Structures are given as C-alpha cells and as structure tokens.
Amino acid sequence: MAKSALQTARAAYRPKLPKALKGAVKAVEGEATQSVANQEEIKKLFPNPYGMPVVTFEPTAETACCGPVNVGVILSGGQAPGGHNVISGIFDGIKNLNPASRLYGFILGPGGLVDHHYMELTADIIDEYRNTGGFDIIGSGRTKLEKEEQFEKGYEILKELGIKALVIIGGDDSNTNACVLAEYFAAKKYGIQVIGCPKTIDGDLKNEMIETSFGFDTACKTYSEVIGNIERDCNSARKYWHFIKLMGRSASHIALECALQVQPNICIVSEEVEAKEMSLDDVVETIAKAVAARAARGDNFGTVLVPEGLIEFIPAMKCLIAELNDFLAANAEEFAAVAPDKQRGYIIGQLTPANAAIYESLPEGVARQLTLDRDPHGNVQVSLIETEKLLSEMVGKKLAAWKAEGKYAGKFSAQHHFFGYEGRCAAPSNFDADYCYSLGYTASRLIANGNTGYMSSVRNTTAPADEWIAGGVPITMMMNMERRHGEMKPVIQKALVKLDGAPFKAYAAVRDRWALETAYVYPGPIQYFGPTEVCDQPTKTLQLEHPRG
C-alpha cells in the first residue's frame, strides 16, 4: 500500500497509555448503579446487566495469566478518527493477556455479524492501520441489531469462531444495541460478553463517566483549521458572509467547540434556540441584525456557524418532524407508492392542521428533504437538509426588506459550506490516537475481568495520559426511555449542549463582541510532532468541562 510521508512517520507513533494499564491490573468495583431515569422499566428490560457497579482498573503486582481469548469487533455508524487505534488497543491488549488470543473483525458494521462476513485481524494487518484515520480496516455500517433472529445468526458465527467477547464501537444507538445483545446472550446463557466503546464525532455520547466520545477532538480541530482559513480569506476580501454548516446530527457540540476555537461572528446553538422557543424567523433576525450592525461599521463580511441539527430544535419544526417520523414509520409503503410530484400534497393532507401549515410554508427543497428515507434508527438524515442555504436566503430577504425601509444600507453576498465528511476520517490527533488506544486496551481488560454490558471508559482526560483512569461503566446506567419510531424504547440518553454548562457560558460571555468585531482566531492544522502544548491540547469543551485542579 503506498503511503504518504506523514503516514510513514505516524505509523511509528506509540500511543500513550494510562499508567494503570502499563502492567497487570486488578478491577476495583464501586457501588451498585441505577439508570439515569425510568429505573423500573430499564431494570425489567435488562435484568442481567442492570445495577452492576462501575469498575476501575488499578495496577497490581500479581500477574495471573489467562488462557487465549478470541474476540470479535464491530465498527458501527459514522466514521470517527481513532477507530483503528481502538482496534489496535484491543489487539495488543488481548495478545498481552495471551499471545494465542485472536481478534476477528466483522465487515461493514453489525451487518457483518448477522451475515457472517468477517476476517481475522493479524499483526500484519493491524500494523498497517495504527494511528490512521478511517474505519477502512473492516468498514462500518448502520444495520441495527434488534431482532432475535439477528442475535441468533450472530451467535452462530461467534460460537463457530470460539469468540468469547464482542466489542461494538459505536454511538449512543449502537451502544444501546450492545446492551440489548449483552442482555440477550446473558439470558440465554451463551457465555458471550458484549462491550461497547464510545465513538462519535458529534460528541453527544458523554456523561458523568464518559468524558468525551472519540473522534470529536480530531473532527473539531480539522473543521476549525478550515474555518480559520475561511475567516482569513473573508477578512482579506471583505465581501462575503460565509454560512458554514457543521456536522452533528442533533447536538451542537461541534459548532460550539469550533466557535470557541475560531471566534466567528455568530454561532447558532440549537439547544438555545429550543430553550428560548425561537422560530425560524427569530434565528434569521438574530443573524440579520449582526449583519446590519457590522455593515454600519463598514464591514460587509462575516462568518456564521450553523449546527447540522438546527431544524429539529426549532420547536414548531420539531413538532412537524416528530409527526412526520411517526407517520412515515407507520405508512412507509403507502408513501413510497405516491408519485414524486404528488408527495407534498399527500403529506399536507395527512398532517394535523398546524403542522400542515408549517410544512406548506417551507421551500420545496427543504420540504422534500424532510420526507426522505430515515436512517435505520428512524432519524431524519439532517445532513441532507441545506440549512445554511435556507438561512442565508431568508437573511437576504430580510435585509432587502430593511433596505427598502431605510434601516440597512450594506451589501450582503453569501457563500455556503458544509463540513462533515471532511473531518470524520482525518488522521487522529495525538489526543484521539492515545484516547482510542486506551479505550481499546481497557476493553481487553473488561473482557479478561468477565464484564458484559459495559462501556469502556477512560477518564481524567485533561490530565497527561499517564494519569488517565481506565475502567468500565454499565451501559444501563446511561439509559432512559424515549420515543423512537412511534414507540417508547430504552436508549442511552443523548448529551446535548447544556446552557448552564461551561462551554456555552464561555461563548455566551463573549458573543456580542465577536458578533460586532472581527475577533477571528486561526488555529492552523493539527500538529502531530512538536511541543506538547501544540500537539496534545484537548478540546476547549473538555478543558472547560473538566478543568485541571
């Protein structure tokens, strides 16, 4: 395989491990745990893993050896930088337990388990992928593991390969599925453990015990580099307003983190829009006012960050999307049979009057995008909705109206960008390379400790890697009941941006100044070699949420 100079140099990078994982470990158990909400329902659905304690690994002098262990691994959902290092961490961890241990990768996500598509991951293969971005070592997919026949098909191949434990690397939905599978295998006494690993660039799989999901660090730094470049271009030409949509299916963590890194004129935070019950017009007005205020200073240029999930957080739109989700889940076939030019009218006829009116008022493109195929978890594919264009178009109209009224005398010309896929497979930053390798290595220790229904957890991540705390958290501890596909389901609670949290407060404290002035910061590209203050800085979000004592 041909390699770039950076890839060659990066292959030699040795990820930093927490001190506790460098030798033999013992598992220290905490108190029994409870789910974050709906305790009775969750306990009933997961009687086996429910209530288990948090586990922390500490160094020990004992070096009790164990027999070889065969492990399976699945990459699930969207790509996130560092996935290959989770796999190399698992590989090195199980080989360290016993060199005869084997690692099998299921191809193209959970579907590979069901369809029995797999490959053994040997040392040669692993070495090709250390510290690289992407999930291409085995590929990823979004098949949802939820039916008994899928579990049984999976069990067939796991039994055939002598696999004792399965590691599912995924986001909140995939880790929920990992827990469902752990419960199923435990109830059937199949003797197969299931461990989850927190992955998603969106950064919304985090809680008291999971400080961040992997990939968030690299993705945000990659986007911030290019946004910084755009800001510099914008400040050089002084003639465009750049509307930049940033990935993050629901939560605005990516947009907020990038804002803290690049200091744009405006960053919309979906969670605030929802809390303040803002309408689409309110959001447009906020932006238009900033454009007008800068124009009054002679600055007809600027940058606006728009989170990908915004549309679903505008209360009236959310209500419409919820009704559309339920309706389309129940009437998918009927809808598919309607001719494309009749679909808009058909939908309007099915919705409640208030939602029908909003749907009717949307531009054709956005209305169509809202009825496109859901992903296998029933979510609207928000990355297909061109919110950045919708907003700039509406801002333009408002400014034209203000101009006619003599309230505004500037020039408004917009450019549009969407950054998402560009960052999901970037070469992992040192933080993600180290964090992911530690998550994988920790998973191997949870397997050796006999745990199932746990998520690999590495904490204290704003300290040097040496001081990180490794262990496992019962997945049931993060669960509650939520409405999905029109039914109440047990799911891991999504972590949205907290308006009383430190990252949002830090932004809110300075945003009026950033809106008016040109306070841009240009972070430049991720650095892999050089001083630690340049190469090893965690995200601003992590530093603000977990300040070092």
Q: Specify the residue, 158 or 246, whose C-beta has the smaller distance to ligand FBP.
A: 246
Q: Which two tokens stand for residue 176?
A: 């929920």
Say how far apart CA 439 and CA 89 lie, in whole Å: 7
| 3-class DSSP assignment, residue 18 | coil
The vertex-219 CA angle with 496 and 120, nearest 5°, equals 105
Q: Specify the residue, 199 or 206, whose C-beta has the smaller distance to ligand FBP.
A: 199
Q: Specify the residue, 27 or 138, whose C-beta has the smaller distance to ligand FBP.
A: 138
Binding site for ligand FBP (CB under 6 A): 77-78, 80, 171, 199-202, 247-249, 308, 382-383, 420, 424
Dihedral sign computed on CA atoms, order 423, 429, 431, 433: positive
Are 180 and 515 in contact, with CB atoms under 8 Å apart? no
Query: Smallest gap, in angstroms, from Cβ of residue 44 to ligand FBP?
Result: 27
Q: Which two tokens stand for residue 302?
A: 């600027």
Task: Respond yes or no: is residue 326 known to be catalytic.
Answer: no
Q: Specify the residue, 56 or 252, whose C-beta has the smaller distance to ligand FBP.
A: 252
Strand 241-246 and strand 414-419: pairing? parallel
Phi, psi of 415 (to 5 degrees): -120, 150
The catalytic position among 202, 204, 432, 434 is 202
Query: Smallest gap, in angstroms, from Cβ of residue 347 to ligand FBP?
Result: 23
Dihedral sign computed on CA atoms, order 145, 93, 473, 463: negative
Query: Smallest gap, in angstroms, from Cβ of residue 80 to ligand FBP?
Result: 6
Query: Smallest gap, in angstroms, from Cβ of residue 381 to ligand FBP?
Result: 7
Are 243 and 416 in contact, with CB atoms under 8 Å apart? yes
Are 526 and 133 in contact, with CB atoms under 8 Å apart? no
Q: Specify the residue, 230 or 382, whose C-beta has the smaller distance to ligand FBP.
A: 382
Query: Smallest gap, in angstroms, from Cβ of residue 308 to ligand FBP?
Result: 6
The DSSP element (H or E) to which 392 belongs, if any, is helix 387-404
Say how far apart CA 543 and CA 520 lie, in whole Å: 20
Q: Specify the residue, 78 or 112, whose C-beta has the smaller distance to ligand FBP.
A: 78
Say how far apart CA 195 and CA 184 lie, in whole Å: 13
Query: Smallest gap, in angstroms, from Cβ of residue 382 to ligand FBP?
Result: 6
Active site residues: 202
